[in-house]
Amino acid sequence: MIMGIVTADMSMSLDGYIAGPKDDGNPGGELEALDTLHAWMFPPHGDFEQIARERFENVGAVVLGRRMFDLGEPFWGEDPSFHAPVFVLTHRAKDPLARKGGTTYFFVTDGMQRALAQAREAAGERNVMVMGGANALQQFLKAGLLDELLLHLVPVLIGEGIRLFENTGVEPIALEQMSMTETAGVTHLRFRAGRRNQND
């Protein structure tokens, strides 16, 4: 059976941050750095509907961390762009949360490997997207579970906050650049991450 691949998709500042010090996950709090990092997706820079459609076109399931879920959920709202099951890595068991358009949030308490297995099963021939946050992506990178990484590199130095690449281990991880494009001054870089564990 053909399986989809495991991808990740993150907006990062040139100095390596995916969130600023004020982006603390409190709904309604200040999101200065997050706004800066995601501005390319929204008018007048980008067409959010089109970007979201393309982004999730081949995605059959999503994996994300609990902190990112708490931060993003109020924004994603009643009709999220995922249109797919979303597996949230958490320590607290909760009933699934169904939204419009095919999105259901499932709360997985038994770890990254188990969340990925469930996501792959749900996705079938389509891809699994690891949406972040940093901690979740680091775990996937370090475990060699990622096939592709799409980075949106935003030309700003934020100076402090949450770095995407930390705790990936001292063993160098070589990626392979597959493509680069530019929209609204942001560089979109796609890398082959070289999954180390092919035993599915």
In the complex, which residues of this chain contact a second copy (CB under 8 A)? 14-16, 21, 33, 36, 141, 151, 153, 155-160, 163-165, 168-177, 180, 182, 185-187, 189, 191
Q: How far is the CB of 12 from a second copy (least distance, A)?
A: 9
Of the pair 13, 90, the CB lying nearest a second copy is at: 13
Q: How far is the CB of 168 from a second copy (least distance, A)?
A: 5
Nearest of 147, 177, 181, 153 to residue 165 by alpha carbon: 153
Name the residue with tokens 């009643």. 78
Which class for 58: exposed (0-12), middle (13-18), buried (19 or more C-beta within 10 A)? middle
Q: How far is the CB of 68 from a second copy (least distance, A)?
A: 20
Q: Dig out the tokens for 127 from the structure.
A: 């891809």
Q: Which residues pair with 149 in a beta bridge?
A: 8, 191
Of the pair 25, 144, the CB lying nearest a second copy is at: 144
Of the pair 3, 189, the CB lying nearest a second copy is at: 189
Q: How far is the CB of 152 from a second copy (least distance, A)?
A: 12
Name the residue with tokens 């009709």. 79
Of the pair 112, 146, the CB lying nearest a second copy is at: 146
- Sign of the four-CA dihedral 164, 169, 63, 191: positive
